[in-house]
Amino acid sequence: MRYAVATLLAVAGLAAAAVALERSQPAWYAKLRYPLSYEHVIVGHAENYELDAALIAAVIYRESKFDSDAESRSGAIGLMQLLPSTAEGIALNTGGSRFVVRDLYDPEINVRYGSFYLRRLLRKYDDTRLALAAYNAGQQNVDEWLAGDEGIAFPETREYVDDVLALRDVYARAYGEELELDEG
């Protein structure tokens, strides 16, 4: 038991050191380590849905590493890894009359739907950590955690939220100009 606790603490310490190292690296290193694609699509939808473009980029990196053809074992598709059932609901809520699953491979549509969904979660939970947890684990799980006065109960979801928030900072620092919203 003592060995397991020591190992866990060592791993947590290494993870914290890695995050600190990532945050202290120069922008050119971050750009090599964390590429950015589709910035015009990201910035456009960030502006449209009043989101932080670096947060969208972070979600995309964590979900698909900017692979528009990405598919998960659970059936999530595209850059922001949307489930077809979620995307169909978004399409109907945003004025779409026909939903086609293959549209989720289109970066423009995928980021539009993912941004809409992320904005909706941010409005519902009024908390970035909870919104990201719901994006990852589903609203039903987050609602149950809140009703039970729990924090984020799934370790993998806590890791996901921490990763996305750390990546948001990396993307904001490394790509500040590219992800800047048009104020005019």
Token pair, residue 95, equals 């004025």
Give the 3-state secondary structure of 24-85. HCCHHHHHHHCCCCCHHHHHHHHHHCCCCHHHHHHHHHHHHCCCCCCECCCCCECCCCECHH
Please identify which of the residues 63, 88, 156, 183 carries the catalytic annotation: 63
Cβ atoms of 30 and 97 closer than 8 Å: no
Residue 63 annotated in active site:
yes
Tokens of 65: 């590493």
Q: How far, in Å, CA of 46 to CA of 171, rounded?
A: 14
Give the list of residues 6+ apart from residue 20 with CB closer than 8 angstroms, or none. Answer: none
Interatomic CA distance for residues 129 and 8, integer angstroms: 23
- Cite the active site residues: 63
